[in-house]
Structure 1
Amino acid sequence: MGESKADRRALIALAVVACVIVLGIVLFGGREEKSDPLTPFRGNEGQGAQNSSFRFQDSSSSAPEVEGELPESFDPNTVDSASLVALGLQPYQAHAWVRYREAGGLFYEPQDIQRLYTLSERDIERLMPKVKIRAAAHAKRDSRLHSEKADYTLSTTSQPTKETTYVPKFDNPTKVEVNSADTNLLKRIPGIGSNIARWIVDRRDKLGGFYAVEQLLEVKHVEPSMLEWFTVDAAQIRHIQLSDMTFAEMSRFPYIGYEKAKAISNYQRIYGPIISEEQLRATRIFTDEELEKLRNYIF
């Protein structure tokens, strides 16, 4: 019986101790749990502010987030770089856009923004519906087309005027140096009128000069029989380093064009400037025949 009572007392004592421990945990631990969340909460507030700021910065550079803030339309011929960035483009894309214009590039239709190699398909799809080109660009193009049409009409009219003064043709075979000849001298060659003379000079200006008389066959309406009248001074060719050319300049160069200019620009952006024919050949952008022509101008 004594042992039984002692056992009961021991059990009661253990139960009391256990209750005290549990009560202490509940009281003091509960306070800690109630107070601890305050610190993480304050910390989360700070993190939340930082995350909110981070997401805001991200959204300013991503098209979907800023699309709601975009203007209903913009003119690609006058928009500045800051506005382009606000439209969702990266600074380097905006810079390339402005440089394209500075090099003489002009946008006549909304789809013309596809010429900008730095724009992704997503950029083009997003921006093209917002492009609104002012009448000035169309007027400039119409003026140029009207001028060409007027020049053609004047050159084919039967009544000589001040602008269409008759130019006598050469009676005897004469060699004309094509890289220095003006249109009046070119028109003295049998078979060459105002239009062909202008086209020859225009092709020469775009290339930077001719290195062979056979290149004249690339000009509209120039016949093989006309080549005997020409000679070429290749020393007058204008050379330029490929790595110094802008995208617009490469696109306009007759032996490069838009697609190859885009490939060159992408290559140079990743691997660095192309400064030798061997480097350009390694890109496999051009055939051997095309490189043979290019080496006379860019290397």
Structure 2
Amino acid sequence: MAFNKIKEYTKFSRDQRTGIFVLFGIVIVLQLVWFFADFSKIEKITPEAQKWLALQSEVEDAKRTVQTDMPKMYPFNPNFITDYKGYKLGMSVQEIDRLLAFREKNKYVNSAKEFQEVTKVSDSLLNLIAPFFKFPDWVNHKKDFVEHKYVQNLAYAKKEKIVLIDINQATKEDLIMVNGVGETLSVRILTQKEKLGGFVSMEQLKEVWGLSPEVIQNLNVYFGVLKLPNLNKINVNNASLKELSQFFYFKYDLARQIVKFRSMNGDFKNIEDLIKINGFPVEKANFIALYLSF
């Protein structure tokens, strides 16, 4: 009796069965839409927003390009930074000009701190490039040179009297014997002598790159200009522009000024006449005169 009652509830008419199938179909469709449809809100992008997004994209591309194109940095001596090198390092034109002006005085920076004092670069840039600074050995071991210098001089003073050697007759082996002068510096000294045709003053050793004041002092202990070398003197009243510009102490601009001054005022009588020319290295006039004839 109870079973027959339940059976009556499961009997559906044709329209009811159709309705049930339609309902199941709707449920399935809704579930498929829920799983596969994108319900995210579609935002309308204004022209200003499009420009900003494009600009952001360009900035990101530029950053990637800079990171990719950034050259690998190797150790270098900051005294010889050129305009291009300084630009690549991030220095301003004014900072580069300060360094070049300092170097034109025949001076050198010997530490990162001194480099900053001369160029006025920022702390952030200095911290970035200072680890790549490479100075000569005598700069990094200056204390060793100074301390050893006194020990060596005392030992020589006790044992024997030092006999000076003419710097223009000194050999590479003679120079290397002096404390602080190695293979490289001895070659530079001899090369400088050849360029000049001979030293006329021990002061000219200051023009040799890498010689510290302590090493020059050591050289003065053992060497000197005992007699003037046979110089091939330049006649400033007859020499051509090319001949004058080839002289070690005359740059092309100065040589041109000399020729111009000579053509307008007549022959030079002495070094005092040359000193009148703008840009002449007056502080070196005393030994430059020995290379010239009038």
After TM superposition, the score normalised by the length of structure 2 is: 0.38
After TM superposition, the score normalised by the length of structure 1 is: 0.38
